[in-house]
Amino acid sequence: MTDGLLCGWRVRSAIALPELLEWQGDDRPPDLTVRLGEVDESLPQGRAISPFLQIDSTGAGLLQVPMVGRFLVRQSGDITVAPQPGASDAEIRLFLLGSVLGMVCHQRGLLPLHASSVVIDGGAVAFCGHSGMGKSTLALRFARRGHAVVSDDVCVLDNGAPARVRPSFPRLKLWRDAIEDAALSPEGLERNRRGQEKFHFLEPEAGVRDPLPLRAIFLLRRASLDAKEGIERLSAPLDIVAALEAETFRPEIGRALGAERSLFQARALLASTVPVYQLRRQPDAPPERWLDAIVATVRE
């Protein structure tokens, strides 16, 4: 079994994780261990955070995904997965490297943003936004220009200043039209979920191993008659903190773990040390016109 690298952690997994770069660090024990096993339907003394998520007094979390499986995540880094019959490998990995990764971050006091990120001029640039706003599509277009992919969907930040991004993996989740618009083909790619026209696009040669300084954050927003297309830097700290709160990945887990204060402090530190911009555009419009503008903005 080959150990993998995820956000600086050594991962030993009974489930194949082709998204991860191979571990090339020291001989320390795994930071995260993924096992297959039985998982109960509920946690003793667990508190329901949602119909699909429970947290108990030890900080352990139980995620239940219908038709996919149950995921028990302990503070120790021990993760037990009980797949449902018929669940695909891609579906298991989707939640393991998504919601479960977010839970691990909150358990360890790290701030995860709902963002994709790429390397520009030696630093990470993050694109935040709700699903469908084009985070992964922008990352793909930058990757096709030779920019390494740092993260997709979950962008994990180290504590403290200067802000640094912990690279996750160079896999992008992309809809069929986004792949075809980039003159690529979805043939042979894994589906994100059964019956879904969304695929996993993996560029292992474009992966990043070491933490990178966070150069800028772009909040992807939809343009309208009242809010025209363009890039605008945000200047009011409270507005930035509020925007970053909305872009925090699985914030309900952090709140359930009693980390609301530390999350606020992390967002406030970001607001005071990292440039944050709004990028207003039509998500279904070709993204090429914005690539040069984003690079120029980062270099200002």
Q: Are 90 and 78 in contact (CB under 8 A)?
A: no
User: What is the band of 1 on the pLDDT scale with cuts at 50, 70, 90?
Assistant: low
Cβ neighbours of 215 (radius 10 Å): 21
Residues of the chain with CATH 3.40.50: 111-298
Segment among 66-75, 207-216, 220-229, 253-262 with least mean pLDDT: 220-229
For residue 103, pLDDT beyond 90: yes
Render pLDDT for 38-80 as a digit per residue (tens, 0 to 9). 999 999 988 998 999 999 999 999 999 999 999 999 999 999 9
Higher-confidence residue of 191 and 118: namely 118
pLDDT score for 204 = 65
For residue 2, pLDDT beyond 80: no
Q: Are 41 and 61 in contact (CB under 8 A)?
A: no
pLDDT score for 132 = 80
For residue 15, pLDDT beyond 70: yes
Q: Are 60 and 74 in contact (CB under 8 A)?
A: yes
Bridge partners of 118?
125, 149
**Residues in Cβ contact with 178 at an 8 Å cutoff, skipping those fewer than 6 apart:** 136, 137, 140
**Residues in Cβ contact with 287 at an 8 Å cutoff, skipping those fewer than 6 apart:** 134, 137, 138, 141, 281
Tell which residue, 172, 215, 178, has the closest CA to residue 190: 172
Structure tokens, 34: 């993924």
pLDDT score for 58 = 93
Which percentage of the chain shows pLDDT scores above 90? 77
pLDDT score for 281 = 86
- Average pLDDT of span 187-203: 86
**Domain made up of 111-298: CATH architecture:** 3-Layer(aba) Sandwich (3.40)
Tell which residue, 35, 81, 84, has the closest CA to residue 62: 81
DSSP 196: -
Render pLDDT for 142-174 as a digit per residue (tens, 0 to 9). 999 999 999 999 999 998 889 999 999 999 999
Which percentage of the chain shows pLDDT scores above 70? 98
User: What is the band of 21 on the pLDDT scale with cuts at 50, 70, 90?
Assistant: very high
- Average pLDDT of span 93-101: 96
- Average pLDDT of span 75-88: 96
How far apart (Å, rounded) are the C-alpha atoms in residues 61 and 44? 11
- Average pLDDT of span 210-223: 94
Instruction: Tell me the pairing of strands 154-157 and 171-175.
Output: unpaired
Q: Are 150 and 212 in contact (CB under 8 A)?
A: yes
Q: Are 214 and 164 in contact (CB under 8 A)?
A: yes
pLDDT score for 87 = 94
Mean pLDDT, all residues of the chain: 92
